[in-house]
Amino acid sequence: MNTFAKSIVGMALALPLSFAVHAKPLPDSAQMDIEFALPKIETSMYARPYVAVWIEDAQRKPVRTVQLWVGKDEWLKDLRSWWRKVGRYDRELVDAVTSATRPAGDYRFVWDGLDDNGKRVAQGEYTFYVEVVREHGGRNYLRQKLTLAETSFSHHIAPTEETGDINLHYSVK
């Protein structure tokens, strides 16, 4: 390969990196309100579910664990998808975000557009994930593609065996 061809290949490889470094961050006012329901399940062996809610970027890299509900650390591995992506690599994060399991009911929480290091994420394509696992019950793994920028939107994720309605309301004020 001649010198000119090598320089073209080098520039092409560096191009995506330079765009990522200079990507415009989400507006300071951007946030996503999340409405999340756990259904009441009638069974003799009901156990509260383990729940992980997180956001990944377009390269499928986790950027923020929004919620993590687990009874004991030994059960973290049951949230298989979240565990493989985040949990086994960052013990400090696990300790910081873990809270107790919750009973059936409606919950609201907010993602402020920051990553796990407290930095505002760039505008672009992301995926919202929910993983719900219940001992003596089912497992649901849900995802919703999102374009986060300067325009507000809402998404509804239909109920499953282990989740009720999930509503995402992204707003820029």
80 versus 7: the higher-pLDDT residue is 80
**pLDDT score at 81:** 87
The CATH number of domain 24-171, selected from 3.40.1360.10, 2.60.40.4070, 3.30.70.100, 1.10.645.10 = 2.60.40.4070
Q: Are 71 and 149 in contact (CB under 8 A)?
A: no
Least confident of 13-17, 116-120, 131-135, 147-151: 13-17
pLDDT higher than 50, residue 108: yes
Q: What is the model's pLDDT at position 88?
A: 73
Whether pLDDT at 30 is above 90? yes
Residue 165 has pLDDT above 70, yes or no: yes
Q: What are phi and psi of 143, to 5 degrees?
A: -145, 150
Report pLDDT digits (tens) over 135-155.
878 889 999 999 999 999 999
Q: Are 67 and 116 in contact (CB under 8 A)?
A: no
Report the distance separating Cα 65 and Cα 115, nearest Å.
8
pTM (2 d.p.) = 0.83
Model pLDDT, residue 18: 41
Is 90 exceeded by the pLDDT of residue 111? yes
3-state DSSP assignment of residue 68? strand
Q: Is pLDDT of 16 > 60?
A: no
> Are the beta carbons of 37 and 163 closer than 8 angstroms?
yes
The domain ranges of the chain are 24-171
pLDDT of residue 17: 46
Q: Which two tokens stand for residue 168?
A: 């995402």
